[in-house]
Amino acid sequence: MRGLTDRNVDSFKNFVDRLLKFPDQVSLDCFRLDDIVSWNDKDRNFDVSDWICAALCRGVKEIDLDLDNLGDILPALLFTCHSLVTLKLVAVGSEITVPSDVCLGNLKTLQLRNASFVGDSIHRLISNCHVLEDLAFIHCDSDYLREVNIQSPSLKRLVLDFDLGESGNLDYVVVINAPNLVYFQYTDAVVEGYTLTNMKSLEKARLNICENDSIDCETSATHLIQGIRSVRSLSLTTDEAIFRTSQLPIFHNLIEFEYGGHGFNGIETWLVEFLHCAPNLETLNLNFPVEAGTRWKALPIEVPSCLSFHLKEIEISCFVTHMIEMVSYFLDNAMVLENLIIRTKGLSVTQTRKVSNQLLQLLKSSKKCLIVIL
């Protein structure tokens, strides 16, 4: 609807009015509306709430709304519609009011973006979606939250992206009980507490967390990662050594691990201690800056068993020349390593050639391993 004249907008409004209010029932599969034009323009008298009700009465399966002041427009009927399978709401600056009689019996996908919730509205909404499989809260406002409580035996995919604590309130707890969850993505500063239970089906997790000075960050973060101990593939991004490796569980199922974020003092010790908790790891991807002066050769720690028996591939991104000591550590200790992939983006041709020569020297005293420099 971009660039439409007033006449075009009026024609569109009249068309939708006739279509949705036509006496003969017109079935709908999908109703989608975004805020390209101002649907709240009182001069045009758009009946957006009536349009949504009409779509619901026609057995619509998918509703996708991106509107200003969405919380003022949504009809209560939306939360008791049995035909809905997919519901996507973008509600910038709006508070979503969830009625007490909410029941979305066939809803499988729920995506809420830029919305605000109060009290236990999240728990009330999710607990009345009995076949929900895919749930996402993206950039939602946590200012008034006390608890993010997600109890769902049917849930398979969960995304919680709270913008790394930019909303200000971190004095809430996250409670998740999802025995069939296979994918979990979480982005936020560390909050007051975490209780994650029954996550034994988890295949892949992506955690992007940062410190919160107002709480016992190490304890909370450690509880978070303890809850995903059954995961097979983990991507972890942190700004510091944010949890205590001494209190980590053993990740018996973990075969893929990616670590990214900022380099910090002592990262080499922290990383090797983490690898001790992943005895069956096969693939390691490292994407963080290593400061000059890290002491990989002087680590007072025994070699993790995954390096001795299982680790087959290592990929190092953002490689710089002083990281050669880290590469040397892995080549010396990863006894079954098959592939070493090094990404040298940012290095000059001369620096890349120097790194290649250094790696060739390391390989002369190492076992067979394919090194790929990109």
Q: What does the pLDDT look like over 176-210, one tens digit per residue? A: 999 999 999 999 888 889 999 999 999 999 999 88
**Residues 152 and 122 sit within 8 Å (Cβ to Cβ):** no
Residue environment code for 254-275, b if the CB has 16+ CB neighbours within 10 A, otherwise e: bbbbbbebeeeeebbbbbbbbb
Q: What does the pLDDT look like over 132-183, one tens digit per residue? A: 999 999 988 766 677 888 999 999 999 999 865 555 677 889 999 999 999 9
Q: Which residues contact 1 (CB under 8 A, 6 or more apart)?
A: 8, 9, 12, 36, 37
Closest alpha carbon to 261 in 285, 239, 279, 228: 239
Residue 360's Cα: distance from chain center in Å? 39
Residue 298 pLDDT greater than 80, yes or no: no
Q: Which one-letter amino acid corresponds to residue 66?
A: D
Domains of the chain: which residue ranges? 250-373
- Sign, Cα dihedral of 340, 341, 346, 352: positive
The CA distance from 95 to 219, in Å, is: 32
Of 10-19, 57-66, 359-368, give the range with the top mean pLDDT. 57-66
Q: Which one-letter amino acid corresponds to residue 245?
A: T
Lowest mean pLDDT among 44-48, 103-107, 148-152, 241-245: 44-48
Which run of H or E residues covers position 173?
Answer: strand 173-177
The CA distance from 55 to 31, in Å, is: 7
> How large a percentage of the chain has pLDDT more than 70?
83
Q: At what angle do helices 6-21 and 48-57 cross, to 10 degrees?
A: 30
Closest alpha carbon to 64 in 89, 44, 43, 47: 89
